[in-house]
Structure 1
C-alpha cells in the first residue's frame, strides 16, 4: 500500500523587502482580525528585539518574518494597521513590535481574557487545549531565536503559535459575553495596549542577586562598578549579562576582596564565559569601585515604596487593619466574578489606598484615589464601595493607640 503520511510542510522565513511587500498584500486581502506573535532571544541576547514575527489572518494564511534583515516593516503596518490584533500575553510582545513601528489599533489578549474568565491555566498551550482541544508542543519556547538558520522544528512551533489564535479568540470572546465581561475585558486590553514603559530604575544595580550579603558602602561601590562594567560589555556584545558573568560570580568577587588581578583570576567562584577573557575589565571595575568618592547608601532610595505588609502592624496598625479587612472584601468579590484577585485589583493598588486613604473615606474618594493610581473604571466600580465598607469595619478591630504617659 502507498504511504499515507503526508510530508512535513517546509516553513519559509521572509527575510527581504520584496517578500514583506508580497506577504503584506496577501494579509491586506484577508479578512477579520490578525494573530501576531513575537519570538525573542531572552536569556541569550542583551536586547529584547524581535528575532521572528509570526502573523496569521483568515483568507491569507500565516507568514514568518525575520526582522533584522527586513528592518522597515511599514508595508506590514499599512496592511494590518486598521484591524484588531490578537496576541497572547500582549504586554511581552508589544515593546518588541513597537521597536519596529508596528502598532495595533486595538488588541485582544487571549492570555488576559483567560485570566478574566477564571481559567485555571493561562499559558498558550493550555488555553489552546482548553478552548479547541488541540495540543501544542512547547519544546522551543526558551530557544535562542537569534540562531540562524532557524531549524524547521522551531519554525513549526512558531507557526502553530498563531495558526489557532483567531479560533481561540472567538471562543474566549463568546465566554466573555456569556459572563458579561466583554466591556471590562475591552478596558483591560486597552490598558495593556496603551501602557507606558516602566521608568528606568534609579539604582538598577541593586537588583543583583545576592547583594544583601554585601556589607559596607565601599563594597557596595565595587558591586555597582562591576555591574556597570558587565552591563556596558553586554550591551556592546548584545549578550545577556548573566551569560557573561552570572550575578553570583560578581558577588563572590566583591566578598572575596581580591588584592590583585591574579587573585581575581584564581577565584574559583568567579565564573562565566567572559570571567577570564575580560579579566582586565573586571579588575578595572574593582579598582574604580575602591577609589570612588561617590559611595552608595547602605539602602537604596526609598522613593514611594511602602513598607512590607508584615511590618504594618507595628508601624501603622490602623493601615494594617484596613488592608486586612479590604483584602478579604476584594478577594470575596474576585471569587464571585471567577477571576484572580490581582486582575480585579492589584495588591499594590490596594496597599497604597489602605496605607494613605482619602480623609473622608467615602467610596467616591477611594474611587478617585484608585483612578489616580491607574485602576480602570470597571475595577473602581467593583471595588471602591467594598473597600470603603471594609475600612469602616476595620475601625471596630483596629488596636487602640498607646496612651501618652507624659
Structure 2
C-alpha cells in the first residue's frame, strides 16, 4: 500500500471502529435479558450472531498465529472469552510486536542482521496455508543449474528420455530397454531396469535372524565430503566391497522448476559419505549404477518414493534390490513410520529437523546441515538389522513379512519419472488446475472467475518454466485463488491484490493484467467449475460408474426444483395494504371469534356433513332485565352510615342459632337484656356457625370444574355495567389481608442517657 493510500484507509478504518464501539456500548447498556424473554425470534437471532462472531474471532486468532509458537485459543462460548482472555492478549501482543519490528525496518531504524554462514541455513517455515522461506524472490545463491553440462530445458514437453549411457548388471541390453512404447495410453520410454528389478531377490542373509551390528560412534567419526570425480571413483571401489549400503537424498525445489538433487548420503557399516550432486559433471555419477543396480548388494532406504524419481531424473541412477524401512515399519504395525520415530525407537537419537526443508544448495555446507545429512544414513543399517529380526519373528509359514517388504520395495523402485505436463483446457495432468480445484473449495467460482483461474494458472506455469523457478516464486497458491475471486481489471487493484508482489510477477504485471481481462471477457459465455466438477467420492462409489463413459453433464442443474416445482421461484412482492385496511381487518378479527379450524381433510368433510344434517335451533330467549337498583339519597350523614356503638336490643336468632343456644339463655321475649358475657358468647357461636357454612360452600365450589364456556367475559368490564353502590362504597384494597395481621409488640420507652425511670410501689 502506498503512503498516499494509507491516510484514507486509516480514516475509513477508524470511522468503522468508532461506529462499532458505539454500537457495542449501546447494546451493553440495553436490557438484553428482558428482550430475550420477550421475543423468541430476537433470542434466536442474538444467539446466531454471537456464534458467528465467536467463529470469526477464532478463525482470525488461528490465522494470526499460523507458523508461530503462540497457541491460538479456541472460543466456543461467551464464557470461554473470559477464560482464554490471556491467550487472546498474547496473540494481539505478538501481532503488535511484528508490526513494530516491520515499521522499524521499513523506516530504517533497524536493519536485518546478516547471519553467519553457520546460522544462515535457509530453513523453510511451514504455515497452515503454504510454505514460506526466507526469500521467494530472486535467489540469493547463484543458480548451480546454469553451470551444468546439460542445461535444464523446461520447454521440453515430450516423454522423458532416461539419462543412461551404460547399463551395468543388465539382463536386457540398454538399446532394447529404451525403445518407446504405449504405457498407460501414452507413448513413453519404459523403465530401463524393469526386468532386473522384478527378477531380483533378497540375499539369503536377509531371511536369517542375526544380532544387529552396532554402529560407530557419531561423535568419534565423520563423513567424507565428495565433491570431485576422483573422490567418487574412490568411494565406488569401497562400496563394491560392502554387502549392505544405506542411501538418502536432499532435494531443493524452490528456485528450480523441476527441482534439484543437492546432496546424496551413502553409508556402509564403517564409513559415511556426503556427495555434492550440484557439480557440472553430476551426470557422471551414473558410474554408481555398478553398485546401485547390483542385486547382490542390499540398498536400504527410508520412504524412497521421491528418492527413486529424483535419482533417475537428475543422475540417471536406478536401484535394484532395495529394502525400504518405511514398509518394514508398516508391516510390523508401528504407530509411526517416520525415520525420526525409528531413530528414537532403536537408537534413542533425536534428529534435528530444523534443516529438513533447508536450502541445500548453500556451499560450503554449514556443519549443522552436514551433521543432519549424515545422521540420516549413519544409523540406518542398524535400524535395518533390528527391523529384519522383528519381521522374521512376526512372520508365519504362510506369510513372510520379508517378502511383503520386498514386493512393496520393488513397486517403489519401478516408478518412472515423467515431466509435469497438463492439459490447459481440461486441467488434467501433473500440476494441472483440475486436481488443485478438486482438493480446494472452488465450487463458488462463477463463470468469469473460473475462466480467470484457468488463465492465470497457465500464465504462472509458463513464467515458472521460462525462469526455471518454482511456482511459488511467481505467486503462491492462495494468491491464485485470491486473484480468481477478485478479478482485478486495473493495475491498482492488481497490485493491492498481490501485495506483497514477487519480482517475477511485478516485472510482468501488465502481461498478467491483460491475461485477466481477456479471460474475464471470454468467461461470460464459458462453463462454471460446478459444471465439470466430479461428484463426491461417496456418490461415485455408490453408483459404481466409470466417469469416462458418462455422456451427460456430471453436475446438471435445473432452473426449477424437481420436487417443489416453481413454488420456490422468486416472485414480485405484493403491494402492502394501507394502514386503514389493515386496522379494519384486525378489528374485524377481534370482534368475530373464529371457530376451531379442522386440521385434516377428513375432519373438514365430517364437519360439512354434520352442518348439513343439523336441525335449526330456536333463537334463545332474551334474559330478563335486572331489577333497577334504588337510587341512593344525594345527601347523607356519617351517623346514618355508621354502626351503633352498643346494642341495646338482643338480636333475633336464626333457627340454627336457636338450636345452638344453651337453655339457660333461652327465655321469654320480655326478659331483660343479656349481660355482656352472654352477648360475647352468643357472637362467638354465631361466627363459628358462619365459618362452617363458608367452608362447606367453598369445598363444594372447588370440587366443581370451572366452565369456561359459560363464564362471563372479562374484556371491557368497565363499559358493560356501571359499578354497584357497594363497589363505590368499598373499593378493592389489595392490602386488606396485610392489615388483618396481629399487631406487633408494644414499643418500649427509650431510656435516654442521663435520665432514670421512676417506679411506683
TM-score, normalised to structure 2, is 0.37
**Displacement of 1:165:** 0.8
Is 1:92 aligned to 2:311, yes or no? no
**Displacement of 1:44:** 5.3
Choose 137-146 or 237-246, whichever is displaced more: 237-246
Is 1:23 aligned to 2:243, yes or no? no
Aligned length: 308
Q: 8 Å contact 2:392–2:402 — kept in the other structure?
A: yes
SS at match of 1:174: helix
Counterpart residue number, 1:54? 265
Instruction: Report matched runs for 1:67-78 at 5 Å.
Output: 67-69=277-279, 70-71=281-282, 72-78=284-290
More helix by share: 1
Counterpart residue number, 2:537? 308
SS at match of 1:258: coil
Distance, in Å, in 2 between the alignment partners of 1:145 and 1:113 is 29
TM-score, normalised to structure 1, is 0.67
Distance, in Å, in 2 between the alignment partners of 1:95 and 1:187 is 18
Distance, in Å, in 2 between the alignment partners of 1:165 and 1:300 is 50
Distance 1:135 1:250, change over 3 A: closer
Is 1:282 aligned to 2:512, yes or no? yes
**Displacement of 1:93:** 0.8
**Displacement of 1:255:** 1.9
Distance 1:192 1:214, change over 3 A: same
Q: 8 Å contact 1:34–1:80 — kept in the other structure?
A: no
Choose 20-29 or 264-273, whichever is displaced more: 264-273
Higher Cα radius of gyration? 2
Counterpart residue number, 1:229? 459
Choose 50-59 or 235-244, whichever is displaced more: 235-244
SS at match of 2:529: coil
Q: Where does the alignment leave 5 or more consecutive residues of structure 2 unmatched?
A: 1-217, 396-400, 547-761
Is 1:238 aligned to 2:468, yes or no? yes
Is 1:34 aligned to 2:256, yes or no? no
Counterpart residue number, 1:358? none
Counterpart residue number, 2:529? 298
Distance 1:256 1:307, change over 3 A: closer
Distance, in Å, in 2 between the alignment partners of 1:300 and 1:107 is 45
**Displacement of 1:296:** 5.8
Superposition RMSD in Å: 3.1
Counterpart residue number, 2:63? none
Distance, in Å, in 2 between the alignment partners of 1:214 and 1:307 is 16
Instruction: Report matched runs for 1:7-406 at 5 Å.
Output: 13-29=225-241, 31-43=242-254, 45-59=256-270, 61-69=271-279, 70-71=281-282, 72-82=284-294, 83-99=297-313, 100-180=315-395, 181-196=401-416, 202=423, 203=427, 204-206=432-434, 207=436, 212=442, 215-267=445-497, 271-272=501-502, 274-290=504-520, 295=526, 298-299=529-530, 307-309=536-538, 311=539, 316=543
SS at match of 1:68: coil
Q: 8 Å contact 1:114–1:172 — kept in the other structure?
A: yes
1:104-157 alpha-carbon deviations (Å, 9 max, x no partner): 112111112111111112111111221233333222111111223321210110
Q: Where does the alignment leave 5 or more consecutive residues of structure 1 unmatched?
A: 1-5, 320-350, 353-406
Distance 1:257 1:13, change over 3 A: same
Distance, in Å, in 2 between the alignment partners of 1:188 and 1:8 is 36
**Displacement of 1:186:** 1.4
Counterpart residue number, 1:335? none
Distance, in Å, in 2 between the alignment partners of 1:63 and 1:300 is 55
